[in-house]
Structure 1
Amino acid sequence: MKPFLLLASCALVASAWADDNPVPPVAPQDARPATAELSVQPLRMPNGDSAGLLAGSWLVAVDDQWGFGPTVLATAKGNYGGVFVFGVTGQRRWRLGDNTHLAANLTVGAGGGLSSPSLRFGGGLMLRPELQVRHEFGDWYLGAGVAHIRFPSGNVRDTRVTLTVGRMDDFRAFAPRDVGRAGRTYARGGVGFDEIALNGGFYAPRGDTRDRSGRPLTARLGRAGADARQYTAPDTWWGLEAAGAAKGGIDGYMEVLVNAGTDWALFHPRLRLGVQAGLGLGGGGGVDTGSGRLLRAGPTLRWITPWGPSLRLDANRTHATNGHFSVNETRLSLVLPLEGRRGVDARGQDLEEGTVRVQTLAGGVQHHGRVRFKDGSREGITQATLSLTRELGPTWYGTAQGNAAAGGKAGAYAVGLFGMGAQSAARTHGTWRWRTGVEGLVGAAGGGGVVVGGGAVGQLEAWLQLEGTGDLERLRVRLGAGQWGTLRGSGQRSPFVGLSVGYAYGVLGS
């Protein structure tokens, strides 16, 4: 009995000492410049048609000269709605004066769209070098220069003048080694979004909706997607969303939009009724969206659960500004918070507290061995991949992934996936750590002549990951293998292997 009392006394003393000497929360260890850019470029197609490209990039500085980040390009002019390219941009800057700099970009991407015998995107690989001079106005800058776009295995290529508007900001992050510790920050961390939503629903076509051959689209169409929001106030937000067809014979249709909205308490602070509006680009799947420009607006109902996640029910009307696409949309979303608890400190400054979780932004390649095409052939294809992974705890994580064909004959094939995974604890070997895991994803796919049924697809993957230590602690190299296939109808199945390189950083979570 005495040993037990002695141990209990020691535990009480240790507990009291810990309460009097709490471990202070960690602060972000990494603060570096970042920039968001939006540029426009005219494009002359091989068949003589005129089109216009809109490109959006988010770049994080490695040092004073170099920056890297994801880029999305899409057509916004001409009758080529649905041409999308996803890629990674590297940028080198040279200072020319106090408010002027020279920027050289190289974007490597994958994608494509509407093709014909005279218009070919080949396997989907795209290269886009660009040179611009920019002038800065505080946090903003304007640029003009020249860019060349080329699909090496197709015949789409052109060199034209480009115009860019950009805004400079900061990228703040915690060190990955602080995972699991309490953290505190006075500014948003990571990519800056407060929550991500996974959604599914239906489009109900209106009377003027047509495919590109002029046939009416009347059947209800399934869709699946995801969106991310940043709240500028508890009741006001802006965000980005992407979705694709998952049922109804328009596989290959996808859309990317910027939206904003506000809401008000309805009977209870956690139940909120609001409105939202968005604009963006969409097309593919044979749908006639004209140039691809879309407008969207409608009401939204949001329930913030006491446990953190939220549920949203949205009803929107989406309309192509110069095509034959007009639909009523209904969707249900599961919303997961990405940031910690928000509040104010004793001085009245905005404050965010929570537990440090690791988030990883990665790019890579994925090769599928035998994919079935609509012409009856079976061939291998190579995809470029972009993914964002967020740890929810020591074992579980959530992930979103976008892929586009970059090799083979499936140019214009694209897929968006989201899901969950489980991982082992990291083990150390020399200057590296390693861990294993497995994940399951579902989403929508289409284009490039690949058989995908209505568009709903899924994949299972097992992986091995190497993680750097010391100066390389943010580096992630992952090798994976698994099986991809359709979820409805066609019975398409294909094994795949993948390799990706990622950048890991810490953000606050629950």
Structure 2
Amino acid sequence: MTHPARISALLLLAVVLSITVPIKPALSSEGQTEPNGELSAIYEEWRVSDDENMGVVGLGVHHYFSEYFSLGVGSWMAVRGERGGFITLGIDGRLHLPITERIELESGVFVGAGGGRGGYFLSGGGLMVRPYAQLTYDISSWGRLSAGVSHVTFPNGGTIESTRPYISFSLPFYTYMGDGWKDDGLPHALQKQHDKSRSNSLAVVVRDLQPVSDARTTGGAVQDDVTLLGIEWRSYFNDTWYARLETEGAAGGSSRGYMQILVGGGAQIPVADNLYVSADASVGGGGGGGVDTGGGLLLDASAGMYYYLTPSLFAGLSGAYLIAPDGTFEAGSLALKLGYRSGGYSAGRKNSVDPSPEKPANMRLRVVNQTYYKASDLWRTHHADRNVENIGVQIDAFLDRDWYLTGQGIAAYGGDAGAYMTGLVGLGIRKNLIGGVFVNGEGLVGAAGGGGLATGSGLVWQGNVGLGYDLHPSLSALVTAGRMGAFDGDFKADVLGLSLAYNFNSYLLH
């Protein structure tokens, strides 16, 4: 049985970039920066049926809005069992109740969407709800350990319902972010706080996966080459060592719906002026599109070279080897990367002749709901007369006051399209009209698949126009209308979008 197609090249872009969720920097009584967020990893097993369990890993980013409340985004992916490629994304809110100096009682709920390897029968419309409670122990600079119990359900027609214990580890961090948008630099005190932020980089990745001759699809056929589109994020501990997160999905070939999420670490060292080499190792999950990854666990090793075109803009070429220990899938790959590094220390900056302080970038984080309406009779392979409801996150990085780069990751939660996901990147413009009213326009391209939507090889486009209103300098509401279609498939849809946006400034991109 083939994996239901599902892909989001930017599935974790929201996770990566939500580090910039606008909260005020935390200060201790001595004026030192305190952690204002955390990265987390969770392992638990879900009951799929009376005789089947699915081991899953959850990755997420949270930011503290107060001592007692945090909010973040995250993703869940299968790594053990028979459901490689089952992936969801969503939003996670959490309450914190300190018991002692090191122990906290925490409870929250994750609301998201997704599916895979079981079709809409397993995840229904795709809606996922996961309330949970946990005890957390602070082990100081090493991080935080937690143990708890969760209840997972896919209430919109899905068959998964599971109450199980879990364990998790989280790593606190600090990064500068400020409410609203700024057109100048930071006051000296805030600039000093920014200097304590880690350097981060974000790159767009195009990868060609070339499977070994023994690799087979879940249907037993020879596995063809797959072209992936995605992003890679790195956070640097110092001039050499970094942690990384990469998410990619199929945008070419016959395995539309394949997706992989990898996390790991590596080292980067200089070899000449502005030229660096790097090597890293990663672990993660993936599957879909008929690619035989077994339970979903993936192991990856890669090496590459990077050239800084400017103090912050770089281009890279890398090679990697990927293996699924539980399946037949095994492949080498070549990847081209174009990225931007900012915050703290940038690798190419040592040769820069401009010592002026950086200015924070104006950014916008949107929680979006998009409804697809049929624009072609053959747009879906099943339930063709039903609209598709999607939820997700969109991040915008402004190049100036009007133009911005944008990326979105969304997944279906209604319309019997469970397992549908899409990830797009593009360019947009925002123009003020009068008062707090503004117009918005954008064009995007990326990958999509799953849920019975006829997206061909997975490569899709989307165009939107919208009207918005600034409710507050840091909060906006926006309604959009647009069209989406597949480059080589029958999928075409009219798209109505509603979003709530938070406007902020950050050094993640500047």
Q: Same fold (TM over 0.5)?
A: yes
> In the alignment, what sits opposite 2:128?
126
Change in 2 beyond 3 A, CA 1:116/1:58? closer
Shift of 1:175: 3.6
Question: 1:390–1:399: 8 Å Cα contact kept in structure 2?
Answer: yes
The one-letter code of the counterpart of 1:477 is A
The one-letter code of the counterpart of 2:388 is I
Shift of 1:74: 1.0
Matching of residue 244 in structure 1 with residue 249 in structure 2: yes
Alpha-carbon distance between aligned partners in 2 of 1:142 and 1:274, rounded to the nearest angstrom: 31
The one-letter code of the counterpart of 1:331 is A
Shift of 1:187: 4.3
> In the alignment, what sits opposite 2:403?
396
**Equivalent in 204, 210, 221 of residue 210 of structure 2:** 204
Alpha-carbon distance between aligned partners in 2 of 1:222 and 1:228, rounded to the nearest angstrom: 19
Q: Residues 308-352 of structure 1, C-alpha deviation per residue, up to 9 Å, x if partnerless?
A: 421111111111121111111111111123447769xxxxxxx99
Structure 2 counterparts to residues 312-351 of structure 1, below 5 A: 312-339=316-343
Question: 2:149–2:163: 8 Å Cα contact kept in structure 1?
Answer: yes
Shift of 1:360: 2.1
Matching of residue 481 in structure 1 with residue 497 in structure 2: no
Find the structure with the greater CA-based Rg: 1
Point out the structure with the larger strand share: 1
Matching of residue 439 in structure 1 with residue 442 in structure 2: yes
Alpha-carbon distance between aligned partners in 2 of 1:386 and 1:504, rounded to the nearest angstrom: 14
Structure 2 counterparts to residues 196-235 of structure 1, below 5 A: 196-217=202-223, 219-235=224-240
The one-letter code of the counterpart of 2:486 is T
Shift of 1:484: 0.8
> In the alignment, what sits opposite 1:24?
none
Structure 2 spans left out of the alignment, 5+ residues: 1-21, 27-35, 348-354
**Equivalent in 422, 443, 453 of residue 450 of structure 1:** 453
Alpha-carbon distance between aligned partners in 2 of 1:332 and 1:30, rounded to the nearest angstrom: 36
Question: 1:193–1:228: 8 Å Cα contact kept in structure 2?
Answer: no
Question: 1:276–1:298: 8 Å Cα contact kept in structure 2?
Answer: yes
Alpha-carbon distance between aligned partners in 2 of 1:158 and 1:191, rounded to the nearest angstrom: 39
Matching of residue 158 in structure 1 with residue 152 in structure 2: no
**Equivalent in 358, 361, 364 of residue 365 of structure 2:** 361
> In the alignment, what sits opposite 1:5?
none
TM-score where L is the length of structure 1 = 0.85
> In the alignment, what sits opposite 1:186?
192
Question: 2:198–2:237: 8 Å Cα contact kept in structure 1?
Answer: no
Shift of 1:502: 2.5
Change in 2 beyond 3 A, CA 1:427/1:224? same
Alpha-carbon distance between aligned partners in 1 of 2:302 and 2:346, rounded to the nearest angstrom: 28
> In the alignment, what sits opposite 2:117?
114
Matching of residue 503 in structure 1 with residue 502 in structure 2: yes
Shift of 1:407: 0.5
The range that moved more, 413-422 or 170-179, is 170-179
Structure 2 counterparts to residues 68-83 of structure 1, below 5 A: 68-83=71-86
Shift of 1:298: 2.3
Alpha-carbon distance between aligned partners in 2 of 1:133 and 1:458, rounded to the nearest angstrom: 44
Change in 2 beyond 3 A, CA 1:365/1:159? same
Question: 1:93–1:102: 8 Å Cα contact kept in structure 2?
Answer: yes
The range that moved more, 500-509 or 187-196, is 187-196
Matching of residue 282 in structure 1 with residue 281 in structure 2: no
> In the alignment, what sits opposite 1:31?
25
> In the alignment, what sits opposite 2:52?
49
The one-letter code of the counterpart of 1:110 is A
Higher relative contact order (CA 8 A, sep 6+): 2
Per the alignment, in what secondary structure is the counterpart of residue 186 of structure 1?
Answer: helix
Q: CA RMSD in A?
A: 2.5
Alpha-carbon distance between aligned partners in 2 of 1:211 and 1:419, rounded to the nearest angstrom: 32
Structure 1 spans left out of the alignment, 5+ residues: 1-27, 344-350
Alpha-carbon distance between aligned partners in 2 of 1:341 and 1:165, rounded to the nearest angstrom: 27
Matching of residue 460 in structure 1 with residue 463 in structure 2: yes
Shift of 1:210: 1.3
Change in 2 beyond 3 A, CA 1:189/1:121? farther
Shift of 1:171: 4.5
Alpha-carbon distance between aligned partners in 2 of 1:191 and 1:383, rounded to the nearest angstrom: 34
Alpha-carbon distance between aligned partners in 2 of 1:102 and 1:162, rounded to the nearest angstrom: 15
> In the alignment, what sits opposite 1:420?
427
Shift of 1:464: 2.2
Question: 2:181–2:504: 8 Å Cα contact kept in structure 1?
Answer: no
The one-letter code of the counterpart of 1:500 is S
Alpha-carbon distance between aligned partners in 1 of 2:491 and 2:101, rounded to the nearest angstrom: 57
Shift of 1:275: 1.9
Question: 2:123–2:418: 8 Å Cα contact kept in structure 1?
Answer: yes
Alpha-carbon distance between aligned partners in 2 of 1:189 and 1:280, rounded to the nearest angstrom: 31
Q: Residues 118-146 of structure 1, C-alpha deviation per residue, up to 9 Å, x if partnerless?
A: x5211100000001122222242222121
The range that moved more, 92-101 or 404-413, is 92-101
Matching of residue 97 in structure 1 with residue 91 in structure 2: no
Question: 2:312–2:342: 8 Å Cα contact kept in structure 1?
Answer: no
> In the alignment, what sits opposite 1:16?
none
Alpha-carbon distance between aligned partners in 1 of 2:170 and 2:402, rounded to the nearest angstrom: 38
The one-letter code of the counterpart of 2:493 is S
Identity of aligned residues (%): 26
Alpha-carbon distance between aligned partners in 1 of 2:101 and 2:264, rounded to the nearest angstrom: 35
Shift of 1:214: 1.9
Alpha-carbon distance between aligned partners in 1 of 2:23 and 2:219, rounded to the nearest angstrom: 56
Alpha-carbon distance between aligned partners in 2 of 1:394 and 1:292, rounded to the nearest angstrom: 43
Change in 2 beyond 3 A, CA 1:367/1:342? same
> In the alignment, what sits opposite 2:6?
none
Change in 2 beyond 3 A, CA 1:212/1:143? same
> In the alignment, what sits opposite 1:137?
139
The range that moved more, 138-147 or 84-93, is 138-147
Change in 2 beyond 3 A, CA 1:112/1:393? same
Shift of 1:75: 1.1
**Equivalent in 289, 294, 299 of residue 295 of structure 1:** 299
Shift of 1:200: 1.3
**Equivalent in 49, 64, 86 of residue 67 of structure 2:** 64
The range that moved more, 130-139 or 181-190, is 181-190
Matching of residue 255 in structure 1 with residue 249 in structure 2: no
Change in 2 beyond 3 A, CA 1:230/1:183? farther
Alpha-carbon distance between aligned partners in 2 of 1:107 and 1:301, rounded to the nearest angstrom: 38
The range that moved more, 138-147 or 411-420, is 138-147
The one-letter code of the counterpart of 2:242 is W
Question: 1:262–1:274: 8 Å Cα contact kept in structure 2?
Answer: yes
TM-score where L is the length of structure 2 = 0.85
